[in-house]
Structure 1
Amino acid sequence: MTLTETSTGRPRAFSDVVEALGARKGAKLCLGEIVEAFGERAFGPVIFFFALINMLPWPPGGTTLTGAPLLLLSMELALGRDSLWLPGWLERVSVDRATFRKLSGRFRKPLHLTEKLARPRLFFMTGGLGQGLIGLACVFLSVVLVLPVWGGNLLPAVAIGFFALGVMQRDGLAALIGWLLTGATVAVLFIAWTLIVASIEHGLRWIGHIF
Structure 2
Amino acid sequence: MTLTETSTGRPRAFSDVLDILSARRSERLCLGEVVEAFGDRAFGPVMFFFALINLLPWPPGGTTLTGAPLLLLSLELAWGRETLWVPRWAERISIHRETFRRLTRRFMRPLRWTEAVSRPRLYFLTGGFGQGLIGLACLFLSAVLVLPIFGGNLIPAVAIGFFSLGVMQRDGLAVLLGWLTTAVAVAVLFLAWKLIVAGFQHGIDAVQRMI
TM-score calculated relative to the size of structure 1: 0.95
* 2: CA distance, partners of 1:103 / 1:16: 14
Q: Which aligned pairs between 1:95-106 and structure 2 lie closer than 5 A?
A: 95-106=95-106
Q: Given that residues 121 and 173 in structure 2 are in contact (C-alpha distance below 8 angstroms), is that contact kept between their aligned partners in structure 1?
A: yes
Tell me, what secondary structure is at the counterpart of 2:121?
A: coil
Aligned pair count reads 211
Provide the residue aligned with 1:91 in structure 2: 91
SS of 2:84's equivalent in the other structure is coil
Q: Give the aligned residue type for 2:42.
A: A
Counterpart Cα distance in 2 of 1:117 and 1:161: 16
**Corresponding residue for 2:172?**
172
Output the CA distance in 1 between the equivalents of 2:174 and 2:106: 21
Q: Is the 8 A contact 2:27 2:97 kept in 1?
A: yes
Structure 1: distance between partners of 2:152 and 2:99 = 24
Q: Cα deviations across residues 60-98 of structure 1 (Å, max 9, x unaligned)? A: 111111111111111111111111011101112222323
Aligned to 2:7: 7
Deviation at 1:2, TM superposition (A): 4.3
Q: Which residue number corresponds to residue 113 of structure 1? A: 113
Pairing of 1:20-169 with structure 2 (within 5 A): 20-169=20-169
Comparing 71-80 with 57-66, greater Cα deviation is found at: 57-66
Instruction: Say if 2:22 and 2:101, in contact at 8 Å, map to a contact too.
Output: yes
The DSSP-based 3-state class of the residue aligned with 1:34 is: helix
Gaps of at least 5 residues in structure 2 are none
The 8 Å contact of residues 141 and 182 in structure 2, kept in 1 or not, is answered as: yes
- Counterpart of 1:195? 195
Once residues 89 and 26 of structure 2 are traced to their aligned partners in structure 1, the CA distance between those partners, rounded to angstroms, is 19
Distance 2:156 2:68 in 1: 13
Q: Does 2:12 align with 1:16?
A: no
5+ long unaligned stretches in structure 1: none
The AA in structure 2 aligned to 1:102 is R
AA in 2 matched with 1:16 = D
CA RMSD of aligned residues (A): 1.3
